Amino acid sequence: EIAGVRGADLRVSVDRQILRISGVRRVERPEGVERFHQMEIASGPFERRVHVPVTFDRERVSAHVADGFLTVTLPKRVPVRRQLKIDS
């Protein structure tokens, strides 16, 4: 969940088996108006790193933001099968 974060303020990257999600949640405050309210969601910069224990295709990683949710797709890498040559 990334409510209040615009796609332009979000970055998703992959380094080996680490998925890194970083960005900034901006709170717009009108000048000259003082308001006091409690927010359950913190504002400012954030970063999360997730170790992905399975092999995935780093070239096909995709991310999509819609309705305050970030969906990251990590397609599984298809193992390359090698045939052994047996000379008789």
The reported pLDDT for the residue numbered 52 is 92
C-alpha span between 22 and 47 (Å, rounded)? 4
DSSP states of 60-71 as a string?
G-EEEEETTEEE
Closest CA to 15 of 53, 60, 51, 62: 51
> What is the per-residue pLDDT across 51-62, written as a single tens digit (0 to 9) for each?
999 888 888 999
Average pLDDT estimate for 8-16: 90
What is the pLDDT, as a whole number, of residue 20? 95
Confidence of residue 12 (pLDDT cuts 50, 70, 90): very high
Assign 71 a pLDDT band (cuts: 50, 70, 90). very high
